[in-house]
Each structure stands twice: as C-alpha cells, then as structure tokens.
C-alpha cells in the first residue's frame, strides 16, 4: 500500500455544523487506514485490543498523520463534550473513551513510503 498517495490535508469536525473542514490550528496531512488495505492494520488493531482490553469493533480506522516541518495540532479535546452530544453520531460508534498513539520521528535506513515498513 502506498501511504504517500493517500495523505490529504487533515480536517477537524466543526463543533457547530459537524462538517469536516480544514483549520489553521491543525497543519498536517493524514490518511485513514483499514485492514482491507493491508492485513498489518488488523494486526496492529488486535495488539491494541490485547493491551487495552477494549474491543476494536467500534474503533475508528487507524489514522496516520504527517506533521512535517512547521506542522502542528494545537491542544484539543479528543472526545465529544456534553455540549456536543452528536460529535461521533455519523460514525455510529458513540463517544471516544480512549486514544492510542504511536509516535515516530526520523527514520533511518528507509523512507517507509509503503506499508508495512520493515527496517
């Protein structure tokens, strides 16, 4: 799978309209990955489930973000607050209860443009 071809300007959910849109406080490119695209994604999700004890049935797709030079995402809530009862309605998953992060900085030996990346 070529990740580079899937990266698009990251969006946020407008808290008033619920519409996805770009925002000046989130500067990055992102892609959402599924097990249909690469079985490694299912393996990653299974490991997260094993470690947390949370079922992945209602989890969102795996998001990959590239912030590059000058990229940022200012502090924000990663869940729907009381005044946002329908924040995740379109996903059919309910509110978020956890966020799992992998952080990767400079890679050596390879560019890892294609997943799965093996060093």
pLDDT mean by block of 10 residues, the chain; 119 residues: 83 83 93 89 94 88 88 77 64 73 70 57
Does some domain include residue 24? yes
What domain range includes position 44? Answer: 8-91
Alpha helices in the chain (DSSP H): 39-52
R_g (Cα) of the chain, nearest Å? 15
What total of structural domains would you count in the chain? Answer: 1
Does some domain include residue 25? yes
Does some domain include residue 2? no
Tokens of 24: 């000046």
Does some domain include residue 17? yes
The pLDDT assigned to 108 comes to 58
The three-class DSSP label of residue 36 is: coil
The pLDDT assigned to 14 comes to 82
Does some domain include residue 117? no
The pLDDT assigned to 119 comes to 46
Q: Model-level pTM?
A: 0.69
């Amino acid at each position: 799978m070529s990740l580079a071809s899937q990266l698009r300007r990251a969006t946020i959910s407008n808290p008033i309209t619920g519409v996805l849109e770009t925002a000046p406080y989130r500067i990055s490119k992102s892609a959402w990955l599924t097990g249909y695209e690469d079985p490694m994604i299912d393996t990653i999700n299974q490991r997260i489930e094993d470690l947390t004890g949370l079922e992945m049935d209602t989890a969102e797709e795996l998001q990959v973000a590239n912030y590059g030079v000058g990229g940022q995402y200012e502090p924000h809530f990663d869940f729907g607050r009381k005044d946002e009862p329908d924040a995740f309605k379109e996903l059919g998953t309910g509110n978020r209860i956890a966020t799992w992060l992998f952080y990767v900085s400079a890679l050596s030996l390879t560019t890892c443009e294609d997943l799965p990346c093996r060093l």
